[in-house]
Structure 1
């Protein structure tokens, strides 16, 4: 995925202390995907999610829920 650096911005959900930093980018011009990456690893991998999936992810994180696929897919 090739996203211009100028498209990335730090999420308001990021830890201001620098420990948990997430950056997001709306993939312009269609806004059909939201890119997500670790701001500490800007050259690392990024996820591309449909806006609905990103909203669901943020909703689960905001409620302290997580999904552990490595543990048989148990929802916690």
Structure 2
């Protein structure tokens, strides 16, 4: 049995604000003013939920940054 990864994506909305969203969710977990606030809020949400993957997307939708929030299970053996 495989465990589904706990993940949050931080991305810009059409209205210019930034959202924190769990993939597949109908609504955002949080809507904030800046990307930095979104990353902080996503880390807080993941930390409260037992850790997981944090993904930051650029304006064109590509992944800019990806990180594991403790105590998540990092699939890579190197830091980053």
- Normalized per residue, the structure richer in helix is 1
Tell me which interval the TM-score lies in, with the shorter structure as reference length. Answer: 0.3 to 0.5
TM-score by length of 2: 0.34
Answer with 1 or 2: which has the greater Rg. 1
TM-score by length of 1: 0.35
